[in-house]
Structure 1
Amino acid sequence: MKASTEVVCYKYKPLKDGTLPLMLRVTKDRKRKYVSLGLSLHEKFWDFEKGKPKRNCPNKERIERLIAAKTAEYNDLIVEMTAQQREYTADTLVSHFRSQIQCGSVVELYDKLIADMKREKQLGNAEVYKYSRASLLKFTGQRLQIPFRNIDTKWLRRYEDWLRQRGSSDTTISQLFRTLRSVFNKAVELQLVKRDYYPFDAYKVSKFDTRTKKRAVGKEDIRQIIALDLTEFRPLARLARDIFVFSYFGAGINFADIALLKYGNIQNGRVQYIRKKTGKPINFRLTDEMHAIISKYRRGSETDEDYIFPILDRRIHKTEQQIYDRVRKVLKHVNKALHEWSRLLGLKIELTPYVARHTFATVLKRSGVNIAIISESLGHSDLSTTQIYLDSFENSQIDAAMQNLL
């Protein structure tokens, strides 16, 4: 009997955050084998009858691409084995792909994961893993074949000491160790190393102090920034100020999402978009200040597919890599311009788009807005959690809260 493949949203083992993992189910001779796709989503976003994400599912296209690629990978192997009249089972099909990675090689698994992320357009995550990989190679003297079983608590402590000698902060070290831990977890899942060798039960990554420094300015500072006379300044300095103000009034929208905003994201006086980092739907009311900023950049012939801010051009920046590179490049220039504004205004805190995001939450918190809406504002150790808290409330509640911004 020929094997079959099907992607299922696995109800029986929900994750801690309440989402359900997506699994590829391989069936042969009534025996089943499940392969994780490395993705999860809420039950409400999955069509269980049709076996695919619903229309309103965040990152729907990316999920569908991954499903198609993984299904095609297994189906091609099934066709090949059937044509060659080779005996196989659901287990051997899954084992075939797991064996494609050389057992025990840390760097090789990094390379595979980075390639997977690039293929799935997760370019930010790919950069994080590339940075971690480069750090490990420097520590080991460019040694490519690092066996997973060699990474024990003593090895991790030596790596930590080496990073501290190079002046790395707790935040940087935490990121590097969390990335390495994630790769080790993947190695255990792929049976590249036994769970007995897992070192992160004894070596706690949580020990690093990664609490976010307070980076909020006050209402009076916001008023100064809004009142700036931009006539004499170059376009980039004006853009930097406008992005800061737009983020502050726009529920702390971050720079990447501002860059990706299109005119089609504005509906009935509201901004509606899917946050790139978390895949969460965001919806907030446009203020007069935001309307004025958008009007500055209108050219008169825009379509719903045109970007609002002069950061991206859909005729030029077409691929995910082009968009990613362009956003990073402009962000550097915007940060530099905002630092100049900080000195001009005599602020103690250097302005960045993140400061606008943090200030949005901090001002609301100090104004007595329900702590459940803001959580710990953007001073939260996990900023995405703060955004999730905001997402869970009705638009009217957020709209009322935002009346306190000035």
Structure 2
Amino acid sequence: MSETIKVLCYKSKTLSNGEHPLMVCVCKDGKRKYQSLGISIKAEQWDFKSNLPKTKCPNRDRIILLINERINEIQKAALDKRIAGKNFTATTLIESTTNNTTNKTVGEYYMTYIQNLKKENRIRYAGMFEVSYSSFIKFNKHLDIPFSDIDATWLKRYELWMKEQNLSVSTISTRIRHLRAVFNLAIAEHVIKNDCYPFHSYKVSKLNKQTAKRAISKKEVLKIMQYQGETPMECLAIDVFVFSYLNAGINFIDIAKLKRSNIVESQLIYNREKTKKLINVPLQQKAMEIIAKYENDKSPYLFPILTPFHKTEIQIANRLHKVLAKINKHLKEIGKKLKLPIPLTTYVARHSYATVLKRAGVSTSIISESLGHSSEKITQVYLDSFDNSQINDAMKNLL
């Protein structure tokens, strides 16, 4: 008995957004097998007689294309089995054309990505992805959609929606890059095909070009160094900023985790938390004075940010988040007092380090002007490729 294959709007199930899933229905030998097509639709947009979306249905042509592709795929599998003389049922026919991972929705794969980060103890990074995930849910109501639903038009609408929320370009860029990371993993694991990748036409890099200035001049940095903090936390905020500026733009997390063992013969040597690259920079006199200021025999850390009490990754991540928020709050207040042109944060130190060296004529081969690139690995590769004497000479321009 020949099989029948069609796609139905499954009204028996209503999703949280009021739509109904489209289901592939294979009927053979009086038995039916249903499988989600990965698309949902409103009942009023579906023609239940022809089993096709109505003329006014959004994305009608794309939906019809996906329906035809899936039906043709199953029909071809049935034909191949007949030619090979193999028996099959409705269930085995669908299973033979299904890779269990290919039907994962964007939401499911996104959550898998977050769980993988947590298993790797990258708690803070996972938390950033969770924030982005919540933003996508707020925008689209749900992510129970196939990867093919997210195209350049979808991304542009999300970008405009984010701008309407008065969020910064850097925040928009970060969240879209998180989604791109999920797409990249899905392609690497052959969950989706490369032609589903929307970032060929939608370039996240264009957002980076719109990012506001994040660097200040050497004169302005010196004003921060000369500022006298009025409270211990304000003093710590200044010291963290200055230490970052003097040490190749080392970021806050890496500063917090520095230990005495990271100082070797007046050199600061550590592996970046984010890229795992080995960084080796000379410790200038001012940086050594800052370290000496916080020397504490009861703690292995150079700065009073983490303590031996913070043992688990979650404890460390929570502590870093809390202290960084306080430091940036104080830095912004200091920036206002000093009438600096931009809001002051720890990240400004990183950009300022690169910009000051660039303006001093230091070769871009040694230090990149834009440490806020979509990939900071490029900058670290350049730093790693030069010997210490070249970096030492370059960093004399910082003060």
Q: Distance in 2 between matches of 1:119 and 1:350?
A: 35
> Structure 2: how far apart are the matches of 1:380 and 1:115?
26
The aligned residue for residue 291 of structure 2 is 294
Matched ranges for 1:11-160 at <5 A? 101=101, 103-141=103-141, 143-160=142-159
Cα drift, residue 116 of structure 1: 0.6
Structure 1 residue runs without a partner (length 5+): 1-94
Q: Does 1:165 align with 2:140?
A: no
Residues 228/400 of structure 1: CA separation in 2 closer, same or farther (3 Å cut):
same
Q: CA deviation at 1:157?
A: 4.1
1:203–1:356 distance in 2 versus 1, CA, 3 Å: closer
Of 370, 377, 397, the residue aligned with 2:390 is 397
Instruction: Return the offset for 1:311.
Output: 0.2
1:319 is matched with which residue? 312
Q: Are 2:307 and 1:308 equivalent residues in the alignment?
A: no
Assess, with a 3 A threshold, how the Cα gap between structure 1 residues 163 and 341 changes in structure 2: closer, same or farther: closer
Please give the alpha-carbon distance, in whole angstroms, between the structure 1 residues aligned to 2:150 and 2:390: 49
- Corresponding position of 1:91: none
**SS at structure 2 position matched to 1:402:** helix
Q: 1:151 to 1:342 in 2, by over 3 A?
A: closer
The separation in 1 between residues aligned to 2:290 and 2:144, in whole angstroms, is 53
Do residues 265 (structure 1) and 262 (structure 2) align? yes
Q: Give the whole-Å Cα distance in 1 for the aligned partners of 2:114 and 2:236.
A: 34
Q: Classify the secondary structure of the residue corresponding to 2:268.
A: strand
Of the two, which has the highest radius of gyration? 2
Q: Point out the more displaced range, 339-348 or 193-202.
A: 193-202
Code of the residue aligned with 1:287 in structure 2: it is Q
Relative to 1, partners in 2 of residues 1:165 and 1:373: Cα closer, same or farther, differing over 3 Å?
same
Give TM-score, length-normalised by structure 2.
Answer: 0.68
Count of residues in correspondence between the two structures = 303
CA–CA distance in structure 1, aligned partners of residues 298 and 265 of structure 2? 17
Q: Which of 368-377 and 195-204 deviates more?
A: 195-204
Change in CA separation of 1:210 and 1:307 when aligned onto 2, cut-off 3 Å: same
Instruction: Supply the AA of the counterpart residue of 1:319.
Output: T
Residue by residue over 1:25-73, the C-alpha shift from the partner in whole angstroms, topping out at 9 and shown as x without a partner, is: xxxxxxxxxxxxxxxxxxxxxxxxxxxxxxxxxxxxxxxxxxxxxxxxx
Amino-acid identity (%): 48
Equivalent-residue separation in structure 2 for 1:295 and 1:169 (angstroms): 38
Q: Which amino acid aligns with 2:301?
A: Y
1:81-132 deviations in Å (ceiling 9; x for gaps): xxxxxxxxxxxxxx9xx96757232111111111011000122331232123
RMSD of aligned alpha carbons: 2.7
Counterpart amino acid of 2:363? N
| Preserved CA contact (<8 Å) 1:117 1:126 | yes
CA contact (8 A) 1:274 1:282 kept: yes
Q: Match for 2:260: what amino acid? A: Y
- Structure 2: 5+ residue runs without aligned partners? 1-94
* Letter of the 2:131 counterpart: Y
Determine the C-alpha separation between the residues in 2 that align with 1:205 and 1:219: 31
> Using the alignment, how far apart are the partners of 1:219 and 1:197 within structure 2?
46
8 Å contact from structure 1 (residues 101, 109) kept in 2: no
CA contact (8 A) 1:114 1:129 kept: yes
Match of 1:351 in 2: 344
TM-score, scaled to structure 1: 0.67
Which residue identity is paired with 1:171? S
Shift, 1:240, TM fit: 0.9
Counterpart check, 1:177 vs 2:170: no
Aligned partner of residue 272 in structure 1, secondary structure: strand
Amino acid at match of 1:317: H
Query: Structure 2: which amino acid aligns with 1:399?
Result: N
Task: Show the counterpart of 2:220.
Answer: 221
Q: 1:210 to 1:127 in 2, by over 3 A?
A: farther
